[in-house]
Amino acid sequence: MTGSGQTGLRLCIDDYDVQEFADIAARFGEQKFGYVVTPNVDHLIRYHDETSFRELYAHAAYVLLDSRFLAYVLRLTSGVRARVCPGSDLSAVLLGTAQPEDTVVLIGGSDEQAQQLRVRFGLRHLAHYNPPMGFIRDARAVESCLQFIEAQSPFRFCLLAVGSPQQETVARELARRGAARGLALCIGASINFLTGVERRAPPWMRRLGLEWLFRLLSDPGRLAARYLLRGPRIFMLLPRMRLHFRRATASAAEISSPG
């Protein structure tokens, strides 16, 4: 089912940068469960088109803007200065705040990557599980993944690095089942960047919102369709969406994309 004919489609975004949200995450604790989603351009297109994806976002505890490019577009088209909280930066900061005795769960990535993270961040209790390719279409494989995560509960952080919308689907199921405790984060390719499997764009390109261009030039065969064919749809879809930026400590200002 799609929502491509809708207008005024609304999305609430938590307006925090990396350090601000790291402070919030540090206080989240292990007595409740919540999950974090990090929308970029591709996610907003999916959010517009797919009712099922909007349902996954609706139950997230936090929605953090992942894209500096999108932030620049919003500033130019709507005059809105949105804070950006890239998942790759956030993952590194949060792992740096974890104590050696904290339980951290990693879903996705290789055994070698998990070991790199244990060593780099001094994590004695990092539990790693890599579900098989296409697991989200296999009910038994999904159940195995969920049971693994729940068996580690309570945890400080659960890093879901299996791509979208698989990671958001797992997070939503954890929330629905109600057994897990801790903060789960849908972080996409962040682990690849942290462990050197993929190179990040130079800082100057990130600051200018050009990380997408660096990734495209690094892997055109895989990313050309996403960035050159699918991505430009965002300019058509933004006028049909209403983005609501909220902060727990200040009154939120609602904006509508022009048009």
Whole-angstrom distance, CA of residue 18 vs CA of residue 93: 8
What average pLDDT does this structure show over 143-167?
98
pLDDT value, residue 71: 95
- Please report the pLDDT score of residue 137 as a whole number: 96
Which amino acid would we find at residue 112? E
Region 148-168: what's the mean pLDDT?
A: 97
pTM of the model: 0.90
7 — pLDDT class (breaks 50, 70, 90) = low
pLDDT of residue 252: 38
Tally of residues, the chain: 259
Please calculate the CA angle 52-234-13 and round it to the nearest 5 degrees: 60
Residue 247 binned pLDDT confidence (cut-offs 50, 70, 90): confident
Task: Return d(Cα 18, Cα 183) in angstroms, integer.
Answer: 16
**In the structure encoding, which two tokens stand for residue 83, read together?**
């804070």
Residue 259: per-residue pLDDT: 36
Task: Note the pLDDT tens digit of each residue in 102-153.
Answer: 999 999 999 999 999 999 999 999 999 999 999 999 999 999 999 999 999 9
Q: What percent of the chain stands above pLDDT 90?
A: 82
Under DSSP, the state recorded for 228 is I
Distance of alpha carbon 108 from the chain centroid? 14
Strands (E), the chain: 9-14, 33-37, 62-63, 103-107, 125-129, 157-160, 182-186, 241-247, 250-256
pLDDT score at 78: 86
